[in-house]
Structure 1
Amino acid sequence: MQFGRAAGEAADAVSGFEEDKQVQRGKGGPVLPHNDRLLERLSFFNVSSAHRPMHLAVTVSLTVMEMANLDWHAERSDLSAIALLDRAPESEGIDLRQVRRYRHGRVREQMARHGVDAVLLSDPINIRYATGTRNMQIFSQRNAPSRYLVMTQSKSILFEFTGCLHLAEGYETVDEVRPSKTASFVAAGPDIADRERRWAAEMNDLIVELAGKGATLGLERLNAGTAIALSELGLRIVDAQRPVELARAIKSSEEMKCINASLRATEVGVGKLRDAATMRTGPGTFPRNSMPTATICPRMVAA
């Protein structure tokens, strides 16, 4: 009920602006005013400050699927250059290679600062930040490790899901791509403990080769069994989330361009929501069977 009410009030807030003052049509489509005007409108509907973030999240989430107009039929071996159908990063003056190189360097900088010899990342958001590569984000987050990244100061090896190795081609942030060996319960079933030990032994051999025996290894979203097995093999296990999060805390000028472009895309999405909301039959209501639905997913964009 609270979500439905939030959606209705958010739609009213967006659609309540005067047409000639809120929509600027051009190459990028409809563009809404700044969020402060939207907040003013939410105030008109007696939405408290504590609940405004939820209303804004609902407003954006209702159109997130419309915003992501990716060309899924594009050449899949060149994903490093894939673009939105309506606007390519290059048209925004964004150098994606520079973005990836900067982020890659930031991770290594924070690893050195925190005394981490190597990181083994399985969170797909962290892998995307460190390399720019992506594949099966939700599946990978649920079934770790199914694709993972081993990164030291001199080497970056991506273990990609079977049959998907070509997705990492063309990325200057990846030195080598190898097939992954999934050590999740979904893949191993009752034999999970044995699978985790064999997986850990293979990772230990690689990390010893790259960083030396007894190296400090940063982990984040991995099964407890794999972390325990790696520790028993002589590696010093620490949390990798801290250096990765601190790495992304400072944005480059190119990253700021990405943020601005994403805000413009959000404005387009909110504009589409406002247009759809004009169909409502009354304040805060929608015609029967036409209520927008939404799924709010955390960390949808690697910031």
Structure 2
Amino acid sequence: MNPKHSQGLSRAAGLVPAMRVLDSENQVDMRSLRKYRLERVKEQLRKRDVGLMILTDPISIRYATGYRNWALFQTHCVSYYVFISPDGPTFLFGYSAKEPPLETIDECRVGAAISHFNAGPHMERSAAKFANDVISYLKAHGAGSTKIAIEQFTPSVSRELVTASLTVIDASPIVETARVIKSADEVLCMNFSIAVAEAGVARMREACKPGITEEELWALLHETNIAKGGEWIEARLLASGDRTNPWGQEASSRIISAGELVAFDTDMIGPFGYCADISRTFFCGPGKPTEEQRNLYKLAYEEIQHNTSIIRPGVTFYELSQKCFKLPDQYIGNRYSCLCHGLGLCDEYPKIAHPADWEARGYDGIVEEGMVLCVESYVGAAGGNQGVKLEEQILVTSGGYRLLSKFPFEESLLA
């Protein structure tokens, strides 16, 4: 990484930018952010000799171009898509040929109907039109390449592309690799999203009293996110009492009682589309936590602290897995699904496996400066009736890491 990029990351790690436009202070440079991200994508296309990449995933499209529209609808009903080549123009295809909304998009065109919702019984005809558009673009801008990278498409579209004698590869590794290393502007956006999430978490902490339901408590995070310009929340991961074990149960109408643990994972796609992925476990008073609750919490806290401390540029995923915190045997069966994972506009590569999962699901790689990682812990005995979920969000820096999440831990549970 060049020194300027490295220094920018270090400065950005400790800053939360203003969201409203001001002429009196430095702010996030959105054009610079979009330029960086698009060039990261094109760099990966060049490395793989790909003549054209076609994106349909709304998060991939937002990363590459900044374009954002009905994102959740797009996840299950493809209504727009983007053509990107290493050195050619970027086209946005959709319902209309409007003016390009951003400088990253050179032209907007009417697209083919490539979902059943849009094409109905005419899918085969629409797929043929789509393939013809692809061939035309490659002839004009593909620099002689017939290799294309695609995301989610119906079998009808995929068949047409293969029939056209094109080499078709998966676009996901290309985009995921591009997204791994963050710019300073991305870190600033992420810090703003984290600040919004932690404002919501503070409201949840204040409201965590006997009589409130899990859903009522969880709604406070949603409300804060939307009010501050955020997007959505990926899951409904908030549970209380005996529903904290096993982990993964979603918020319900259950009424929270005094003396119970309340655990949650924000999974929040916040302002600027960046994810704030933080987990905390509260103790719902009045009263004091039991010895079992404190022991669970301290183990989870120790796991987070230890696993964070060994992260640095150059360490391999396998090394992290082998040197990770060793949970007592009774908690191994209920372990979280990974030690840590990447983060950006959503959960991203890499996902680093526990030692017990390495053979079945682990893969190696190298931690790099500029990665954002979430360090995970869940501690709850198999067959038990409570558990603790904690998670921190960090930026990998030249000297190790910087903590991005800052919401305090529960003093009563660490006592």
Q: Same fold (TM over 0.5)?
A: yes
Q: 1:37-52 residue pairs with structure 2 within 5 A?
A: none
Cα distance between partner residues in 1 of 2:59 and 2:32: 18
Structure 1 counterpart of 2:136, which letter? D
**Counterpart in the other structure of 1:263:** 194
**2:152 counterpart of 1:218:** no
**2:20 counterpart of 1:88:** yes
Cα distance between partner residues in 2 of 1:151 and 1:105: 11
**2:173 counterpart of 1:242:** yes
1:112 CA displacement: 0.9
**Counterpart in the other structure of 2:62:** 128
Cα distance between partner residues in 1 of 2:53 and 2:117: 24
Cα distance between partner residues in 2 of 1:235 and 1:184: 21
Deviation per CA, 1:71-90: give whole Å up to 9, x if none.
xxxxxxxxxxxxx9x83376
1:192 CA displacement: 1.6
Deviation per CA, 1:185-242: give whole Å up to 9, x if none.
1122222222212222222222222115551100011222212201211211111111
**Counterpart in the other structure of 2:31:** 97
Aligned residues between the structures:
211
1:273 CA displacement: 2.0
Contact 2:58–2:68 (8 Å) recurs in 1:
yes
**Counterpart in the other structure of 2:86:** 153
Contact 1:131–1:174 (8 Å) recurs in 2:
yes
Structure 2: gaps spanning 5 or more residues: 1-16, 223-231, 236-266, 275-343, 345-415
Contact 2:97–2:108 (8 Å) recurs in 1:
no
Contact 1:214–1:236 (8 Å) recurs in 2:
no
Contact 1:143–1:186 (8 Å) recurs in 2:
yes
Structure 2 counterpart of 1:286, which letter? I
TM-score between the two structures when normalised by the length of structure 1: 0.62
Cα distance between partner residues in 2 of 1:164 and 1:201: 18
**2:52 counterpart of 1:118:** yes
Deviation per CA, 1:93-126: give whole Å up to 9, x if none.
2111111000000000011112212101111110
Cα distance between partner residues in 2 of 1:102 and 1:89: 21
Q: 1:17-28 residue pairs with structure 2 within 5 A?
A: none
1:289 CA displacement: 9.4
SS in 2 for 1:246: helix
Cα distance between partner residues in 2 of 1:227 and 1:289: 41
Structure 2 counterpart of 1:153, which letter? P
SS in 1 for 2:90: strand
Structure 1: gaps spanning 5 or more residues: 1-83
More strand by share: 2
Could you say if the C-alpha distance between residues 211 and 176 of structure 1 is closer, same or farther in structure 2, counting changes exceeding 3 Å?
same
Structure 2 counterpart of 1:226, which letter? V
Contact 1:149–1:156 (8 Å) recurs in 2:
no
Could you say if the C-alpha distance between residues 252 and 291 of structure 1 is closer, same or farther in structure 2, counting changes exceeding 3 Å?
closer
More helix by share: 1
